[in-house]
Structure 1
Amino acid sequence: MKLFVNLLLEWQDGTDIARIERLLWIDPSYTDVAIIELLNPKALPTWQKCKDLEEALETQRAHALEIDPYASLLKPEDTIPEKHRERRDQAWDIIAPLVEDKDERIFFSHGRGALLNAWVEKTGCTKMTLYKYLRRYWQGGQTRNALLPLFSKCGAPGKERQSHGKKRGRPNKISQVTQMPVGVNVDDKIREKFSRGIRQFYENAQGRTLQDAFQRTLEKSFHKGYTLSPDGVLIPCLPPAHELPTFGQFRYWYEKERDITHALTSREGKRRYNLRHREVLGDSTQMAFGPGSIYQIDATIGDIYLVSSLDRTRIIGRPVIYVLIDVFSRMITGLSVTLEGPSWLGAMQALENAAVDKVEFCQEYGVEITEEDWPCHHLSEVIIADRGELEGYNADNLVKALNVTVSNTPPYRADWKGIIERNFRLSNDKVIHWTPGAVYKPRERGENDYRLDAVLDLHQFRKLMILAILDHNKEHRMDWYRMDEFMIQEHVEPYPLDLWNWGIRNRAGHLRIKSRDILRLNLLPSEQASVTYRGIRFQGLFYSCDLALREQWFVRARERSSWKIDVAYDPRSLTDIYLRLDGGQRLERCQLIDAEHTFRGRDLYETLDYLETRKQQKELSRSRKQQSSAALNAQMEQIINEGKEQTSTALEQVTGQSKRSRIKGIRPNRQEERDMEREAQAWKLGEKLLPDHSGKVIPLIVPTEASAPEPSKDAEESQQEVSAAEPIAHQEDSTHVSQSQLIEKLHKLRPKMWSDDE
């Protein structure tokens, strides 16, 4: 191996300390070479034979180093501080004549001393300084920058200062005046108190300042005792300030020893740290290989108030905006503007819009475009959402039937889908904030209410968003977009539409196309319904379809039992529900039966609200029913007890009557009771009702003169018997004669009266 100047040789002599030498000079005959040890602070040049060094390299007793430890000194001039350059140039002016004239005497020990002595007399510099400059020049690679001051090595970096009984650090203001050391040195005990105070008062969610944490640390760990205030509170007694550590010392040791990740996480929480303070080393674009690889979807509440299209004097609030954006090209592929809260319904409409023909969609709002202006009518391979609407059973159909993978970000990690989050901000800055009715910062007292400025209805706002999306796709230049080598070669401009078209030509195969009906069927939310003999029962309503009638589902449900089926429904109308057949590739529409005509065209939530109200009313009626049952039971109990008492009294008055005789007389007793009921309940026209002595109303028959018959002798006698019985009834009533006895007397008189009438 050939030798050359500044070559570094490391000797393999078996010692623990490496011995590295630098070649300083080779004589023209290639016989001798001057070398110097690199790590020896007192090293001077020595001479070796060239052949000995070459032999050592060949036998591997030494090997050449490729990396020079002094290579960091070779840096541009504009990166070197001016004061450092001044010191370097000053040292160089002193030794430059010694090293630039290539006088080999400087490398020989017997001639170097005389040469340096003469130079000391000429420059006035000490011999020790000359040796220091020459040694740094030779060991540092024989360049001018080898003389740069090594301030980074000053002060024992990385080692803690020892006090040795003196106050370390900058003198206190009082010390500068009194010339007396003031303050304390921070030792291990004080540092432990600092650490404990930091953990207890600063690195937590309370949000104290470092100054406040320092004060609390002094009160907690540096007090000498307590005093008792008049109201019984213990107040810590602190030593004089010059006997306490300063806030500067507290801050110094905190910043020296702190773990910044742990500190930010402790003060702001893991969620806020990940969102605002974590390192950002990746790029979302790298996740997508081409158009349709990944869509990001998210919703936001528009910062604008709208008016009703039916009555423009009515303010209807703020719309909910859903947007789908292609990660590869930043192309906005789907839009939904509704009044529904952030829900599956809004996400469903945005996904459906991503797959429809945009020319027809824009024509609905009076915007004329061509296919080339917005060539997006597809679903993607992957959709990234935020654990909201696209998590759960509704999103399963995207995976199973439509072959779209759904990936949800962790909670509170909006930065994982920062592309669409940033797009919302661009939409607000470009469109919404300049529109009447836009939401501004909180109103101050006396300012106009921006809600009263609303002028756009929902249809007009959708048109405004369509125009903004078209402008974004065609004119939003992304100079920060990281082009790959193939894009650079083809001079692709960083516009979403240009990137989309380039990706379609060069990286196709990721987009999905489905018919509109199948897409809508698999986007509609699903739930289970029951097949019963009354129909397909869903949300308390009953449906029927041709398939169920052909296959006699309802007859089978009545013969056997009901069973469950999966149905899809549109929450905006309960008139129809849909059966998914053949794995979601075919549908069967079910309609409300005629008995449920009240709910046709009704909203799901309106119907559920009505049914829930009925349940609540039923629950509230429990008190009424219970109270009514209690009243009925009490009245029944009273009547039953009254009957028991009267029957018991009657049985006590009748003696010698056996049980058999009572049972044997049921038929005649029934006949007698029926006859009496017929008489009492018979309709008698022309009679007047008069109250009797007990307050009861009794009929009084008033015959006419023409039709009144002459009373017979037997009738007169019967009437006299009845009249004679009246005083007895009054007498018995006055002595509380039971009602059963009166009835018995009337029974005995009735046959005779009937015979007289005949």
Structure 2
Amino acid sequence: MRESLKGKVIRIHDDNGYTDLGRIIYEFVDNDDVLFIEFPALSVKGAQEGDPANASEAKEKRKRKPCYLRMPRRIARGMIPLIGGGRSVSLVDFTVPTEWLLTDDQLKQEATSIEKNRRNLLEWLSHREQQKEIIAPIVGDFGEYELLELGLLQEQVQARSKALNYPTTKKVRQAMLRFLLGCGHPNALLPNWGEIGGKGTEKFTVKKTGRPSGRCRVPDALPEHISDEEDRRKLRDGYRKYKRKRVSVHVAYLRTMEEHWPGNESITHRSQRQYFLLPANQRPTEAAFIWAARSLCSASRINMGERVHRAVKRALKGLRSDGIVAVGQLGLIDSTSEDQTLVSAVNLLKVLPSTYRTVVIDVRTEYILGLYCGFERPSTLTSLLAILHCATDKVAFCAKHGVSISEGDWHSRLPRRIRADNGEIKSEKGISTMSATEVGLEFVRSYAGDMKSLVEATHLMMHRYADHHAAGSTQGQPKERGESSREEDACRTFEQNMKFVIETVLYINNEQAVPHLLTVEMRAEGVKPTRRAIYEWCVEKGYVTSEPTDLDTLHAHCLPKLKAVIHRDGIHVFDPRDDRRLIPGLVFVSNWLAESGLCERATRGRIPCELQLDPQDISTAYVVRQGLHQLSLKTADPLVKELTLLEYLLMTDDDKHVVDAMRSDQESRDAFFHSSNQDANKAAKAAKAQALADAGKAKPSRSSGYEKRKNLDDELSRQHLKSLGLGDFGEQAQSISPDQSTDYDLAHVPALRQSGPTALPGLARGNDEQPTDWRAHSSPGRESAQSITGDLMAQIRKARRG
């Protein structure tokens, strides 16, 4: 069975493209011949070369789109490939004109296309009905076989023209040919007015068109310039030549005027530069310059650049989730400022810069898998920390920030492939880390923000819910004139802000309605239109990809490495701002470190190492040494573990500033203390020298010993009496040698001179009884060296017994 060719378009291909020759309207029954009608564009002949008489006429005809149809041509099927005269020939489907798709109701309601036009479709409908009335007897009585194969078309056209009293057969013949060209389409008889004055067709007038300008209203106004075809050509040429990037339209207009509309008289400026321009009424206006160049590249396109314009203004087709059918198949990562103005948790009067947030989102369910918030600017570090957070436990993370959740409120999953822009994670460190963790990376080309529009929309949503309600928020806008300073309103710390960020993530994941993510299968099973329900349904049904499970590898590659050193008491961390200075008090310990023997080895010399630490959680650190080992911060203050690394560094800096401010007074006190010691030493040495001089030959010598034990007993007895308030005999005893004896009476004891009920009888100064001579109990030699305080205590005990 042969293929039907009716309705096909004969297309001839050449080096410049292709040309549509005509449309096949009939296939003969008795043989393989076909009939085709040439399209109107090919039925007009141009003027012969060298014929000036017909040149103007041909030029005028080329301005109009011809609509004249020739009689059908007969050709055999096998000759169709040869009709191109050596060029390639193909048969393609006919493209129906837009007007043919309109129904009668749409024509009556004057429905128009998307593009603006001034077409009167009611007149189109009236014209079609007139054409149908002309050929109605022919079409009603005869079919294609009789008219085309039996050759009755010409006869019936002549008979109908005669019946309508037309002088020629042109009107009836053209209506019939148009009907045949449309292959019976009801709207084939619509006029071809769409090709006349259509888009891109230029019109030239004798009178100035458009709204009159202000120059026309002045008295004795001169007539304005009217552009003809040559003027518009010059304007387009000037636009192409002078309109460049960073060259304004006005400058391009002036250069075009200077080139094509120079004046006859020169005007000398004070800078000795001459201008040659015609008066304003003798040259086109800038509006005419822009209008003439409307078919060329727009000014914005030129300023933007062709490559950028194609990328930014290109048509979007498909969805951002095309080809994504499983959870974890593709994740998006991006960073943004949190639009916050925070204060330090150590000192509420210290204002901190805005923090930055990095978010990772699953494309299939739009579920937020992980985030990282910190003071660090977006970088490979922040992106790796956000990716690490995707696989970590969210319950402990939320509890650290004062938010209580249960398992399932925030799922953990690491995407199998991550899409990022050409920024933070596009580095040797980021690519190697993702390769080591078996995670694929893909990067969005420049000026293709629609490839990650999902994460950009999530940023805006989190700004609206979490950030812009905080005191001191920047609202994502620069400060306006007269507006109060955001730094004055700032009062919330990073930790206080993190609670609202987590609550926003939980709301987006668990509560926000997203019916556009539901599939027919989900709706049939009654899945709730939330991201959590869709996520859990996909996992339950197996719409999920495998994920890397080695968290040690993630910790080893994603956490930043800080220079550290092992001491006997733990691992000390160097300040990342100055690797010669240890951070005070930032020491990490663990059972593994104590049992490894490294601390003992550090007593013979410190051991350098690298410590991996999350800047937002300094309570825990990791060290890679024969495996990944976790360490904890050694501190007596539990609140220190809630600080970020930045806040801890600021706190130690404040401590250093306070100590530096106190150092001057402390050095003054130290200097006074040392000088006072020297003065006391000098006075004591002088007193000792005087005592040695008074002792003479009785002074103790090194050969006889210093009798430290006996002197200690005397000193303790003296201090005991002094604590009892019985006075101090130290100065009297200083000048007494061991071989000397001294007369003491009770007048030397101040406590015994006091009157009162506690006074001892017989010891008052006014008593006639002489005091007992206790010196009689002393013996010569070593016994005579009995201490004064010992004799005095014995005398007191004797008086109490009496």
Bin for the TM-score computed over the shorter chain: 0.5 to 0.7
**Aligned residue for 1:151?**
193
- Counterpart among 100, 112, 120 of residue 140 in structure 2: 100
Per the alignment, do residues 511 and 443 of structure 1 end up closer, same or farther by CA in structure 2, a change over 3 Å counting? same
**Aligned residue for 2:37?**
38
1:719-758 alignment runs, 5 A limit: none
- State the SS of the aligned residue for 1:112: helix
Q: CA deviation at 1:430?
A: 3.6
1:251-270 alignment runs, 5 A limit: 251-258=290-297, 264=300, 266-268=302-304
- Mapped to 2, the partners of 1:193 and 1:384 lie a distance apart of 47
Per the alignment, do residues 156 and 448 of structure 1 end up closer, same or farther by CA in structure 2, a change over 3 Å counting? closer
- Mapped to 1, the partners of 2:460 and 2:252 lie a distance apart of 38
Is contact 1:474-1:497 (8 Å) kept?
A: yes
Per the alignment, do residues 418 and 609 of structure 1 end up closer, same or farther by CA in structure 2, a change over 3 Å counting? farther
Q: CA deviation at 1:251?
A: 2.9
- Mapped to 1, the partners of 2:430 and 2:77 lie a distance apart of 70
**Aligned residue for 1:325?**
361
**Aligned residue for 1:294?**
330
Q: CA deviation at 1:460?
A: 3.5
1:607-622 alignment runs, 5 A limit: none
**Aligned residue for 2:124?**
84
- State the SS of the aligned residue for 2:468: helix
- State the SS of the aligned residue for 2:358: strand
Q: CA deviation at 1:377?
A: 1.7
- Mapped to 2, the partners of 1:509 and 1:87 lie a distance apart of 63
Is contact 1:548-1:554 (8 Å) kept?
A: no
- State the SS of the aligned residue for 1:173: coil
CA deviation map 1:425-482 (0-9, x unaligned) = 122234433454433455555555565555644333222222221221234444555x
Q: CA deviation at 1:249?
A: 5.0
**Aligned residue for 1:139?**
181
Q: TM-score, normalised by structure 1?
A: 0.59
CA deviation map 1:108-139 (0-9, x unaligned) = 36853663255214xx7964322221222233
1:580 matches 2:624: yes
Q: CA deviation at 1:238?
A: 0.8
- Mapped to 1, the partners of 2:77 and 2:302 lie a distance apart of 57
Per the alignment, do residues 316 and 229 of structure 1 end up closer, same or farther by CA in structure 2, a change over 3 Å counting? same
- State the SS of the aligned residue for 1:87: helix
- Counterpart among 232, 239, 247 of residue 278 in structure 2: 239
**Aligned residue for 2:244?**
203
- Counterpart among 246, 250, 258 of residue 219 in structure 1: 258
Is contact 2:208-2:226 (8 Å) kept?
A: no
CA deviation map 1:2-52 (0-9, x unaligned) = 99996779899xxx997865339x9xxx88999865128665589x9xxxx
Q: Tell me the amino acid that sits aligned with residue 419 of structure 2.
A: I
1:507 matches 2:563: no
- Mapped to 2, the partners of 1:148 and 1:222 lie a distance apart of 45
**Aligned residue for 2:101?**
75
Is contact 1:354-1:377 (8 Å) kept?
A: yes
Per the alignment, do residues 113 and 391 of structure 1 end up closer, same or farther by CA in structure 2, a change over 3 Å counting? closer
1:529-540 alignment runs, 5 A limit: 539-540=579-580
Aligned length: 570
1:469 matches 2:510: no
- Counterpart among 26, 32, 57 of residue 23 in structure 1: 26
- Counterpart among 115, 120, 138 of residue 164 in structure 2: 120
Q: CA deviation at 1:88?
A: 1.1
Q: TM-score, normalised by structure 2?
A: 0.56
CA deviation map 1:472-494 (0-9, x unaligned) = 1234444555x778768767666
The structure with the largest helix share of the pair is: 1
RMSD across aligned positions (CA): 5.7
**Aligned residue for 1:336?**
372
Is contact 2:416-2:545 (8 Å) kept?
A: no
Is contact 1:437-1:455 (8 Å) kept?
A: yes
**Aligned residue for 1:129?**
171
1:423 matches 2:458: yes
Q: CA deviation at 1:423?
A: 0.8
For structure 2, list consecutive stretches of 5 or more residues without a partner in the other structure: 13-18, 44-67, 84-89, 113-120, 635-642, 657-802
Q: CA deviation at 1:500?
A: 1.9
**Aligned residue for 1:356?**
392
Is contact 2:327-2:535 (8 Å) kept?
A: yes
- Mapped to 2, the partners of 1:577 and 1:21 lie a distance apart of 80
Per the alignment, do residues 362 and 87 of structure 1 end up closer, same or farther by CA in structure 2, a change over 3 Å counting? same
Is contact 2:360-2:369 (8 Å) kept?
A: yes
- Mapped to 2, the partners of 1:305 and 1:82 lie a distance apart of 64
- Mapped to 1, the partners of 2:423 and 2:157 lie a distance apart of 84
**Aligned residue for 2:289?**
250
Per the alignment, do residues 6 and 97 of structure 1 end up closer, same or farther by CA in structure 2, a change over 3 Å counting? farther
- Counterpart among 473, 478, 485 of residue 438 in structure 1: 473
CA deviation map 1:648-673 (0-9, x unaligned) = xxxxxxxxxxxxxxxxxxxxxxxxxx
- Mapped to 2, the partners of 1:381 and 1:185 lie a distance apart of 64
- State the SS of the aligned residue for 1:464: helix
Q: CA deviation at 1:301?
A: 2.0
Per the alignment, do residues 484 and 363 of structure 1 end up closer, same or farther by CA in structure 2, a change over 3 Å counting? same
Per the alignment, do residues 397 and 529 of structure 1 end up closer, same or farther by CA in structure 2, a change over 3 Å counting? farther
Is contact 2:10-2:20 (8 Å) kept?
A: no
Q: CA deviation at 1:143?
A: 3.6
Is contact 2:527-2:533 (8 Å) kept?
A: yes
- State the SS of the aligned residue for 1:383: strand
**Aligned residue for 1:402?**
437
1:526 matches 2:526: no
Is contact 1:399-1:406 (8 Å) kept?
A: yes
- State the SS of the aligned residue for 1:467: helix
Is contact 1:205-1:269 (8 Å) kept?
A: no
**Aligned residue for 1:378?**
413
Per the alignment, do residues 449 and 572 of structure 1 end up closer, same or farther by CA in structure 2, a change over 3 Å counting? closer
- Mapped to 2, the partners of 1:283 and 1:499 lie a distance apart of 18
Per the alignment, do residues 248 and 131 of structure 1 end up closer, same or farther by CA in structure 2, a change over 3 Å counting? farther
Name which of structure 1's ranges 470-479 and 438-447 shifts more when overlaid on structure 2: 438-447
1:176-195 alignment runs, 5 A limit: 183=226, 185-187=228-230, 191=233, 194-195=236-237
- Mapped to 2, the partners of 1:20 and 1:275 lie a distance apart of 38
Per the alignment, do residues 536 and 347 of structure 1 end up closer, same or farther by CA in structure 2, a change over 3 Å counting? same
Q: Tell me the amino acid that sits aligned with residue 75 of structure 1.
A: L
- Mapped to 1, the partners of 2:603 and 2:344 lie a distance apart of 48
CA deviation map 1:84-119 (0-9, x unaligned) = 222212222232233224486896368536632552
1:325-724 alignment runs, 5 A limit: 325-343=361-379, 346-347=382-383, 349-374=385-410, 376-392=411-427, 395=430, 398-399=433-434, 401-409=436-444, 414-440=449-475, 441=477, 446-448=482-484, 452-454=488-490, 456-478=492-514, 495-504=530-539, 505-515=541-551, 519-526=554-561, 539-540=579-580, 568-569=612-613, 579-582=623-626, 585-587=627-629, 606=649
Per the alignment, do residues 274 and 524 of structure 1 end up closer, same or farther by CA in structure 2, a change over 3 Å counting? farther
Per the alignment, do residues 321 and 370 of structure 1 end up closer, same or farther by CA in structure 2, a change over 3 Å counting? same
Per the alignment, do residues 199 and 502 of structure 1 end up closer, same or farther by CA in structure 2, a change over 3 Å counting? farther
For structure 1, list consecutive stretches of 5 or more residues without a partner in the other structure: 162-167, 593-600, 614-758
| Percent of aligned pairs sharing the same letter | 21
- State the SS of the aligned residue for 1:587: strand
**Aligned residue for 1:750?**
none
